[in-house]
Chains A and B, each alone.
Chain A
Amino acid sequence: MPSTTNDRSLEGVLSSVGDWFKTRINNIDIFDEHHQLEAKTNPFYALGPIFYLVWFIVMFTGLVLIMWYVPTKSAAFDSILNIQNGIPIGGLFRGMHKYGADAMIIAATMRLYRMFIMADFKPNKEFNIIIALITLLLSMYSGLTGYLLIWNQRAFWATKVFATFPTYMDQFAIMGDFYLPLYKSLHLGWNTAEVLLGGGAAITQNTITRFFSLHLAFSLIPLILVELYFYKNAYTRVPLNWIKRSILILMLAFVAIALPAAQGSRSDPDVTPLPILSDWYFLGLYQMYKYLEPVVATYITLVIPLTVFALPFADSYITGPEKDIMKRPFMLMMTFMGFVCWVVFSILIIVNIANIHTDPPYWRSFLYLTVNAGIVWQLLLIARNADMKWKAKQVVPCMIMFGICATQTFWAWVYDYMAKTEMFIDPLGHAALYNMGRGAMGDTADKVEALVRKMHPTTGAKPVNQEYWNFHVLLDPGYVARIGEPSAKQDLEELRKLCVETKTPLDFVVKAIPTFETPMGQNGAYLIEQNGKKVSFLSDKEKGAHPTYHGLVDFMVNNRWAWDYCTLVDRLKPGVVKGYPMSVPEVDWYWMIGGALSAAYALVVAMQCKQAQTAEPPKQVAAADTKPAETTGS
């Protein structure tokens, strides 16, 4: 992004960063209030005002519905029946509320696509995409929270899934238990689920109360803020005349009468319907949850909005002020890919024809290759452009696209291991880190691995002592006296000797990391009553059996990273573990190779652009020669 000043001092940099934010904040456009002239001729620019108008309809009908709705487990379903059939205009109002909410989501989605395709985020308006996406997400969440209030089967199970998936956040690399050796997890995912569900695994009265409150909050609080913004800036709220507004309201009313909002069957917490569906806008995500490891699926759920945030910035870097969509094929293919994935996944879950075992390679290839096609197309436009002056400025765009393709290639490399060994991100990362530290451990590594394999075979044979990694506690005299000797004691002692005595150059790193082991044990497992006081039965009652790591070897064994490494190595070697290494599905090779090829091409084009920087301008040379005095003078 070009900064407003060339001042490179700290003050200058700070003020240009400040300017960067100020410009974008001044350019904020919540409901297309800066496109009101275009809105008169182009209905796509009226999507913002339409969203706002429908929001009011939904708020109004919702406030009426609250009068009859009873937010309790036993009465919710019946109160909806009453609204639908007993109250004179209840059915109409409920229909308008439901279809209005759908209309809001459609309008917000279409508006987001319009912003991408028409490049409404240029120049310096990237924050508008973020606002548009938050608008969409808020309407989706209020749709989801409102959906449960009907208390039918579909809503019940959709909510159950939605409220449970955050628990997988606890297995994330950054905030989860992954770095348990480094810090203790805060259980953010678990806590989120607890808040949503109201404690425990089941959907309870707490859940319905909380969702009812959130349903209102998601609408009312943003409305206050948006109203303040409109009032402060004196913008027209809905630049549509009453004829257009009436058409919109009548459309909603017509749909509400023609297609009365569905009621479904009463929720039954003991029976999950097959197939389980959610509201239409979450169907694509639901299908993805069938295909993927739950942790990866949770990652992707969070990565999608972040990608949408990042895309306008990437596009501003890659194509500069260009607004024509055919000259921004990278963005074209990204939007195309997102839309097709969403539609196809939704169709797959509705007709229930997908096969979760054979499909993923196909859509992985589609997803990556579409993005690659966009990148290659974009690179071709740069490569074939004759304007050398312009071309000389395209090194950064090429390198950004190279970065995207390189990430894909790296991921393909990791995926190769995943597909062959069926190990996922965390254990693979452990194995890779162990492999890096292996050089420092020398001969000890081999001895340790042999012992680890003996204690907990990677082949799936019956383990001798699966708790071997906890040898500090298992061999503690106090523990042995109270619980008894561990199996394979000799081997454990040898393992302890290796772990305690081996010195490596990297020991100082792991010694700085606390083990988080306390003398009381997890949940007070090592506590006994003594003279009316609870004390640990370990021999060292102050520090416990294992207060600090003795060295790198100790760290690797105690955190089971050594075992992860053994599993990886054994599964990669043919004939060691039954059924491994597995083969990479053939269709996956397309995207795995496609990424590398696109990356190579991006480098080639980057080189061309670099050459264009040094190339002599062909025609201007003569013109420049005629005025030598000016050039020397300046």
Chain B
Amino acid sequence: MTDGVKRRALLKTVAALPLALTFGLLASPFLRILLPTRRPLDVLGESDQPLAEPPIPTFTDKDFPKDWTCLPFMFNQKYVEYNPEGKEVRKIPGFIVKLPNGDVVAYSRICPHLGCIFNFVEDPNECAKGYNFKPAGPVFACPCHLSVYDIAQAGKVVSGPAPRPPRKFEVKKEGGAYKVVALEAGSIA
């Protein structure tokens, strides 16, 4: 009887080994985090950075009759994808604002906190009512979790939980036209 039990134990071990090996191999990429690496793992390392896709949003001086004119626009981003078109175009909503000092700046409207779309609030009193904060001038304010960004201070977070200013667009001035040509690289939100 002991012989039988031994044989069974042996057979079990023999059967278990390939299984353990299979599952071990499956799990090994996840276990690699335990080892100090000589080189970065680069799990997501080099990604194809998205590029601007026409139509490029273009504005002229006539579009900004006065200071703090804020216009919404859509910026097209091309991602390289494995699909019939070889690309996927995503739309990033943005705001382009004329500052009192004459500069024209553009920001992505995606809130850096949790990815909602924020608004342009020109009236400080309206901001105080809806967003728990009374700013000095016009601001961007997100309805989701009440983050407020001061446009005059380069998008600095003046109220609310957001961890950083919203992403900026690169605005190129060609002749009399303002062209939104690129978006600052960054995270999902």
Contact = CB atoms under 8 A, between A and B. Distances in A.
A164 B36 contact: no
A65 B90 CA distance: 31
Contact of B133 (A190, A200, A357): A357
Nearest to A165: B114
Contact of A187 (B38, B44, B90, B118): B44
Contact of A190 (B38, B79, B88, B188): B188
Interface of A: 157, 160-161, 163-165, 167, 182-184, 186-187, 190-191, 193-194, 197, 199-202, 269-276, 286, 289-295, 297, 354-357, 512-514, 516, 518, 523-524
Contact of A289 (B42, B43, B72, B145): B145
B33 A186 contact: yes
Contact of B46 (A270, A290, A516, A523): A523
A297 B144 CA distance: 15
Contacts of B88: 200
B161 A290 contact: yes
A604 B91 CA distance: 64
B182 to A, nearest CB: 16
Given A167-B188, A272-B142, 20 more contacts: A161-B115, A161-B144, A163-B115, A165-B114, A183-B33, A183-B36, A184-B42, A186-B33, A186-B43, A187-B44, A191-B44, A201-B115, A271-B117, A272-B116, A274-B130, A286-B145, A289-B114, A293-B161, A356-B146, A512-B36
Contacts of A193: 188
B46 A514 contact: no
B113 A356 contact: no
Nearest to A187: B44
Contacts of B90: 200-202
B161 A292 contact: yes
A161 B116 contact: yes
Interface of B: 33, 36-46, 72, 79, 88, 90-93, 109-110, 113-119, 130, 132-133, 142-146, 159-163, 187-189
A480 B70 CA distance: 42
Contacts of A157: 116, 144
Contact of A184 (B37, B113, B132): B37
B contact face: mostly helix, strand, loop, or mixed? loop
A290 B188 contact: no
A289 B45 CA distance: 30
A25 B113 CA distance: 42
A157 B145 CA distance: 12
Contacts of B79: 199-200
Contacts of A513: 36
Contact of B40 (A199, A292, A518): A518
Given A270-B117, A276-B144, A513-B36, A200 B188 contact: yes
Given A157-B144, A190-B187, A356 B130 contact: no
Nearest to A167: B188
Contacts of A355: 132
B135 to A, nearest CB: 13
A276 B188 contact: no
12 contacts: A161-B114, A163-B115, A184-B41, A200-B79, A201-B115, A201-B188, A201-B189, A269-B93, A272-B116, A276-B116, A357-B133, A523-B45
